Structure 1
Amino acid sequence: MNNQNLGLFDDLPASPDEIICGVDEAGRGPLAGPVFAAAVILDVSRPIEGLRDSKKLTEAKRDMLVPLIKQHALAWAIAEASEEEIDKLNILQASMLAMRRAVEALSTVPTLALIDGNRCPVMKIQSIAVIGGDDKVDAISAASILAKTARDAALVLLHERYPEYCFDQHKGYGTALHLERLRAHGPSPVHRRSFAPVRALLEVSL
């Protein structure tokens, strides 16, 4: 099997022909920026030490693991859904869209997707939701790391366009600093207008 920790789940398919990808997203909670997702098919002959939920790793550790994942995996892909898509679809459906895009972008077509969480995007291949999968299944952990680091890098770039919001510090999350800058400058083009703190400011300005 193309995942190192599938033995944790007795109900998962055991066929050696199964091509399994792990899938996770990053950025559902922030008030600004896209939501990112990644899909990874690991190579069991090239194990990667230290994989776990990206939120439980330091930034330095995540940055160290990213090139290892990209070099050692059989396939990997990163995708996103924009702020406009988040506002149009809602954040859950936009996250599902980003995950589906990541799976469909893989250079190797998987036969099974293991999705972190309790919901699966609608896809052509079989998928299984694994609650807490980003700290249980190595392929999902790897996807978690790629999605998190890609989104953080994107928010640093947004900081260069909109330095007054300090996106490089809070990555779009609703911190005290972000809320203070949001009140001072109003929503930027990359803020999610459907999210309550942003929507409230837009309503006041009408």
Structure 2
Amino acid sequence: MLVGIDEAGRGALAGPLFMAACELLKPLNELKDSKKLSEKKREKLYNEIILNSNYLILAFSNAQIDTLGLSKCLQRGLEIIHLHFEKQRKIFDGNTNYGVLGIENLIKADSLIAEVSAASILAKVSRDKVMQFLALKYPQYGFEIHKAYGTKAHRESIAKYGACKLHRLSFKLT
């Protein structure tokens, strides 16, 4: 069996980093990189994936990212996933496996391999849900719209209101 691995939130200015690993129990139609799907389609596929796979979803807070660094968070996530899916072949989307033995990496895997596409959807939808919830507490930043990525509107909000406790201090915010 094959386990696909992907992340969401790596380049965001605020909020958590999510990682997901997915082993499909049956083939699912219409899987592709989460960034190439509409929000409605991602939500539908998310539910199908949850019901038809073995999966693991991890989150690293902005405080963990600031303390450990993004690369160390990704490395620890891959180590946890490797332990959880010890016997399966594992492929991570990207150009590095962060030194974790037993994890293969492949650029554009989220567009090429169904299990990685599924992991991409699990990570993105999970993170988006958290950012929509956090937007209720911090409405001035518009997290529900841009999910804390460095859009012009988000940067303008930071300039106007300053950073909140969700912003990653290790990132250049302005």
Question: What is the TM-score with the length of structure 1 in the denominator?
Answer: 0.79
1:144 aligns with one of 113, 116, 120: 120
Any idea what SS the aligned residue of 2:29 has? coil
Q: Which runs of 5+ in 2 are unaligned?
A: none
Partner of 2:44 in structure 1?
A: 64
Alpha-carbon separation, structure 1, partners of 2:87 and 2:116: 14
The letter for the 2-side match of 1:94 is C
Alpha-carbon separation, structure 1, partners of 2:151 and 2:124: 18
Alpha-carbon separation, structure 1, partners of 2:48 and 2:56: 14
Structure with greater Cα Rg: 1
1:173 aligns with one of 140, 143, 149: 149
2:130 aligns with one of 146, 154, 165: 154
Confirm or deny that 1:114 pairs with 2:96. no
Equivalent pairs, count? 174
Question: What is the TM-score with the length of structure 2 in the denominator?
Answer: 0.92
Alpha-carbon separation, structure 2, partners of 1:103 and 1:148: 20
Alpha-carbon separation, structure 2, partners of 1:162 and 1:136: 37
Q: CA deviation at 1:121?
A: 4.1
Any idea what SS the aligned residue of 2:150 has? coil
Alpha-carbon separation, structure 1, partners of 2:34 and 2:79: 20
Matches within 5 A, 1:29-40: 29-40=11-22
1:100 aligns with one of 51, 74, 79: 79
The letter for the 2-side match of 1:40 is C
Paired residues of 2:82 and 2:103 also in contact (CA < 8 A): no
- RMSD of the alignment, in Å? 1.7
Partner of 1:15 in structure 2?
A: none
Partner of 2:32 in structure 1?
A: 52
**Identity %, equivalent residues:** 37
Q: CA deviation at 1:120?
A: 1.1
Partner of 2:60 in structure 1?
A: 81
Q: Using CA pairs below 8 Å that are at least 6 residues apart, which structure has the higher relative contact order?
A: 2
Q: Which runs of 5+ in 1 are unaligned?
A: 3-19, 199-206
